[in-house]
A and B are shown apart, each in its own frame.
Chain A
Amino acid sequence: MFDVRPVDTDYVRHRAAQFRAQVERRLDGSLTEDEFRPLRLMNGVYLQLHAYMLRIAIPYGTINPDQMRMLAHLAEAHDKGYGHWTTRQNIQFNWPKLVEIPDMLDKLASVGMHAIQTSGNTIRNVTTDAFAGAAADEYLDPRPYAELLRSWSTDHAEFQFLPRKFKIAITGAAKDRALVQAHDIGLRLIQKDGQTGFEVWVGGGLGRTPMLGKVIRDFLPEADLLAYIEAIISTYNLSGRRDNKYKARIKITVHERGLDVFKAEVEEEFANRRRDFHGADREALAIFKDRFAAPAFRNAPTDGYEAERAKNGAFRSWTDTNLHPHKVDGYASVIVTFKTHGETPGDASADQMRLLADLAEQYGHADLRVTHDQNVVLPHVHKSDLPAIYAALQKAGLAVANAGLTSDIIACPGMDYCALATARSIPIAQEIATHFKNNGLEDEIGKLNIRISGCINACGHHHLGHIGILGLDRAGVENYQITLGGDGYDIPAIGERAGAGFPYDQVVPAVDRLLRAYLEVRADASERFIDAYRRLGPAPFKAALYPEPAHA
């Protein structure tokens, strides 16, 4: 049964102390690696291709300036001066030493952060819209519900050894920027007959068997959230397959058993579970709603912003691409892209982290969000402050006007870091971004979503890219499959494989042919690549990817 943890910090300090003792026992030989591995994974510690990796939870991507500064400190004191934003709104450090990780966890605990349930077959970080609480198209702020789910799922005794990892996403906006259909459970906040509740999706996921979720409940009243989610996961916990790791996700359970059968089991379990919830969850939700109350927005003129736009073309260009509409007049959400052409997507240096912390404090109501597309958002910025923010970002190399463009690529770490990867992702992303900057086509191409994964586990969400790139090992050589037509946002769709894969050095030329073909066939400049693909089908794009050989 759910209870509110009064002081999370005590709990994470306790867990950090536990892990310190576990590391000591591993080093003195009291624990074998087989015994230690699940313990380190429960604390976000992986062993990767070159080193240990520590994945730190950033619940629903929300982080405050002090926490951001702590990440900067960890990057400098225990890593190589940078961290990597992940596609699930977390951060990873690629080079920590096992013997130093207990110190890192102690430091994280001092600012209320941890790495609990960032790995293992548990309920992982609950993700949401990076513009939560700010977006103009938002019906209701999803963060109090995300926090309720986080609080309930942390150390939930029943769900520590699920058949497989479990991911929940929630959105409260008209446009789904949380990818709810690509999650084990997806929640959309809706209103019905004046009552707030959720449309509940189940069984979505990417990986080797990509599937979009299905609606298991058209409307779930707000008060029943935890009881119903608990019913879904407990049903899956019993009926999910444990005989085959690759068939253990809930998407396979729902697919094999059928939605109707699974739903009937869930509803029966829900009726039982509901009796155990006596209101503590609703009290907690009320507390969380207060905690996420909107900041004190100010009413001020935006003349300076408009004047700067008129006289500074670079600033205008940046505000055209890197702002998101805010629900309050005079405000905007700022997207700080970590996609500078030629740099590693999603890597942030310690200095850049500190700058974001300072900007959030000075101009952004002390609020920062890590986005699933590996950028950072200042959700609440008054437009009059945008020129100053832009100038500061420019000095740090972070004022690139490319949000949502060709170079705003999502890429997993791939075989440059990941032990599971079958090919590299990062250099492919770097080369695509540089190529389309150098040939001057990026602005002309406009909105485009390229996503790259270095193996079929699909951490780079390649299935949801307008153009998806999947790196594989084909007979000891890196080979890249291209998928087309995927979409995570407007009309969720799994991309279709275009044809045979390309060797490493042929990927950029192939994407170049593809995008030049798009420029030829699009109706006009307002028709995005994905829109043209939907209108025309794959034929002209496949023809560009696989041109007929010239015959003599």
Chain B
Amino acid sequence: MSKAFVPTAAKPGVITANDLREGHNVWMCEDGWTADPARATLFEDEAIADLALLKAVGQSNLVVGPYLVEARRGPNGPEPTHFREAFRQRGPSNYFHGIQTVKQAVTQTEASNV
């Protein structure tokens, strides 16, 4: 996979992992870890990303297997560039399970708050 990925301004990246206790996918964000990939911190600098990855590795009480992977800037936050990461962000294609249900719940909550 993309563990050797080096982010630049032209090819930024995000840090992602799995939640230790429950196993779901998480992304490093400003205030820790989030299950919403759109909130992920986008790294454009190798040194800063390396430091963040070291920090993530040090949080093994929270997450499993953190790695840095390419992403691109999207209108609503970072977006995946590879289909594997797209599936990780969406959930399986055969059932409406996984992260897509969380996203729907967030969207519904936001809609009801309008």
Contacts and interface: CB of A to CB of B under 8 A. Distances in A.
Is chain B's binding surface mostly helix, strand, loop or mixed? loop
Nearest to B101: A80
Given A476-B82, A478-B83, A50 B21 contact: no
Contacts, number: 76
A235 interface: no
A351 to B, nearest CB: 16
Interface string B94-111: 110111000000000000
A27 interface: yes
Interface string A9-51: 0000000000000000011010011000000000000011111
A427 B87 contact: no
Given A51-B98, A80-B97, A476-B82, A97 B23 contact: yes
A52 interface: yes
A301 to B, nearest CB: 44
Contacts of B25: 50
Contacts of B23: 47-48, 50-52, 95-98
Interface string A418-435: 000000101100100000
Given A47-B23, A50-B25, A415 B65 contact: no
Contact of B64 (A33, A415, A416, A473): A33
Interface in B17-47: 18, 20-25
B84 A97 contact: no
B61 interface: yes
Contacts of A287: none
A99 interface: yes
Contact of B84 (A32, A80, A415, A426): A415
Contact of B87 (A27, A49, A95): A49
Most buried by A among B81, B82, B93: B93
Nearest to A95: B97
A86 B110 CA distance: 40
Contacts of B83: 415, 473, 476-478
Contacts of B60: 29, 32-33
B73 interface: no
A427 B97 contact: no
B88 interface: yes
A52 to B, nearest CB: 4
Most buried by A among B65, B82, B83: B83
Contacts of A424: 87, 93
Q: How large is the interface on B (under 10, 10 to 19, 20 to 34, 35 or more residues)?
A: 20 to 34
A427 B94 contact: yes
Interface string A191-208: 000000000000000000
Contacts of A473: 83-84
Contact of A50 (B64, B65, B82, B98): B98
Contacts of B77: none
Most buried by B among A26, A47, A51, A424: A51
A145 to B, nearest CB: 37
Contacts of A51: 18, 22-24, 98
A98 B20 contact: yes
A98 B84 contact: no
Contact of B94 (A27, A33, A430): A430
Contact of A427 (B22, B24, B93): B93
A426 B94 contact: yes
Interface residues of A, number: 31
Contacts of B91: 50
Most buried by B among A32, A424, A430, A478: A424
A417 interface: yes
A417 B92 contact: yes
Nearest to B61: A29
B29 to A, nearest CB: 19
A473 B88 CA distance: 15
A473 B81 CA distance: 13
B77 to A, nearest CB: 20
B69 to A, nearest CB: 12
Contact of A415 (B21, B87, B98): B87
A457 to B, nearest CB: 15
Nearest to B25: A50
B94 A47 contact: no
Given A27-B20, A98-B22, A50 B88 contact: yes
A99 B20 CA distance: 9
Contact of B22 (A26, A80, A99, A478): A99
A433 to B, nearest CB: 12
A375 interface: no
A29 B20 CA distance: 11
A27 B21 contact: yes
24 contacts: A29-B61, A32-B60, A33-B60, A50-B23, A50-B99, A51-B22, A52-B23, A80-B97, A94-B92, A97-B21, A97-B23, A98-B20, A98-B21, A99-B22, A344-B95, A415-B83, A416-B87, A416-B94, A417-B92, A426-B92, A427-B93, A430-B94, A473-B83, A476-B82
Interface of A: 26-27, 29, 32-33, 47-52, 80, 94-99, 344, 347, 415-417, 424, 426-427, 430, 473, 476-478
- Nearest 7 pairs of A and B residues by beta carbon: A416-B92, A52-B23, A51-B23, A97-B22, A50-B98, A344-B94, A426-B94
